[in-house]
Amino acid sequence: MPYQPNSSNANDTSCSSSVHGKSIGILINSALQIGFIDSILKYRISSECRVLDLSKFISNITMCPFLAVNIYMFLKNGKKLMPSSKFAKEKTIITQMQKCQRNWDYSKNISEDIIDYLLWIVQNSPSKQHEAYYDIYWTADRKVIEECSKYTWGNTFSRNPPACRRNSQANANMYMVFVAKEPETHRNTTTDGSAVSNESAARWENAYVSIGIAMGLVMQAANSLGLVTGCNKSHGDMNGDLFWEKKLDIVEDFLAGRKKIAYGIGIGYPQSDKERWETDEYELVIGASNGAHLTTYNEEDERYSERKKLPYPNDKKFRKVKIVDINSCDEAVDPYGNTHIIPNDIPYTIHTQHERKINVKEIK
């Protein structure tokens, strides 16, 4: 049976509500026309019903897969909401961006004009005082992407016993890596008028904010063009080999603290016969729940080192792990003596079905 995201009411399609105050008129269109799934409906309606408390109503309505999103409602003050269809397309794109894609159709290629457009966006995205706080490294070469995706351990599979999987969103049709850096310009000033040092935390904060803006714009553009996306922060090495820094040719700048790999985006086409959380991955790391500072060596191996031999603060202690092919065994023991039950497949946890509390408050 295919893996399904956890939901206590997954099979409940009942829909009932009792709402006090002004009467509510509901106009139902086809949910398929909008392209929203039931779990996304909650966020859409919640964001538009800012005045009336409809939590119980919304809780039920999200379990009705045939209800539409285009709803007119009267709030307590009698004001009718603007028809959501005016913004339906953009809202559909935004909610699609929330969902991380874990499998890819390699029979399709992203056209050169789309690639050029996405690269233009990252080069022209807004940044504080128009300074260059990041560099972009990208590839659409299948062999290169497959090689790099091997070094994306870090998606937690189990906490006890500890195990993790690769971030398969990186094994996409196209992959972008955002590398934060110290700008060559110095347009920030201190109170005495001198230039703010690039070593200042505020400068690195500017870098990560700039990267976030650019990532959002790229994802929005890609999804609007019919592609899907998945972001990834796991760009670790194995046995301290600095794979990513070497691949991007930034070892010297990394060790000097001038550059740091921040985030990546997988972009491409989904496999039509799989849910987005299903994957072709077949290997697990056992012994660690994330991908930081992993080693497959042990004390008996002459290559073993207890710590990464890097300048502070990168001289981290290794975590010993074992890489397991899930097709090779039913259980395995990690380097710390923990026994792991090995699954038949490696589905990914999804979180977009959960509500997140982002408060929106008017300033008065």
- Look at residue 184 and tell me if it is in a domain: yes
Are residues 218 and 121 in contact, defined by beta-carbon separation less than 8 angstroms?
A: yes
- What confidence tens digit (pLDDT) does each residue in 8-22 have? 333 333 343 333 333
d(CA 131, CA 262): 17
Buried b (16+ CB within 10 A) or exposed e, 24-56: beeeeeebeebebebbbbbbbbeebbeebebee
pLDDT at 333 over 90: yes
β-bridge partners, 159: 162
**Do both 117 and 192 map to the same domain?**
yes
> Average pLDDT of the chain?
82
- Name the residue type at position 308: K
**Do both 63 and 190 map to the same domain?**
no
- Look at residue 291 and tell me if it is in a domain: yes
- What confidence tens digit (pLDDT) does each residue in 222-270 have? 999 999 999 999 999 999 999 999 999 999 999 999 999 999 999 999 9
Q: In this structure, what token pair is assigned to residue 144?
A: 């290169």
**Do both 144 and 260 map to the same domain?**
yes
Mean pLDDT of 87-92: 91
pLDDT at 40 over 60: no
Supply the range of the domain harboring residue 335: 112-341
- Of residues 294, 231, 295, the one with CA closest to residue 262: 231
- What confidence tens digit (pLDDT) does each residue in 140-175 have? 999 999 999 999 999 999 999 999 999 999 999 999
β-bridge partners, 175: 139, 266
- What confidence tens digit (pLDDT) does each residue in 102-155 have? 999 999 999 999 999 999 999 999 999 999 999 999 999 999 999 999 999 999
**Do both 72 and 211 map to the same domain?**
no
pLDDT at 1 over 70: no
pLDDT at 336 over 70: yes
**Do both 175 and 317 map to the same domain?**
yes
**Do both 243 and 315 map to the same domain?**
yes
Confidence of residue 310 (pLDDT cuts 50, 70, 90): confident
CATH value at residue 288: 3.40.109.10
- Look at residue 357 and tell me if it is in a domain: no
Question: What is 136-204 written as a DSSP string?
Answer: EEEE--HHHHHHHHTT-EEEEEEETTEEEEE-GGGSSSEEEEEEEE--S----B-TTSPBPPTTSHHHH
pLDDT value at residue 58: 45
**Do both 304 and 235 map to the same domain?**
yes
Confidence of residue 314 (pLDDT cuts 50, 70, 90): confident
**Do both 205 and 307 map to the same domain?**
yes
pLDDT value at residue 83: 52
What's the number of domains the chain is made of? 2
Cα angle for residues 193, 195, 196 (degrees, 5° grid): 115
Q: Output the CA–CA distances (angstroms, integers) from residue 290 to 44, 171, 225, 344, in the order listed.
A: 33, 18, 33, 21
Residues for the chain: how many in total? 364
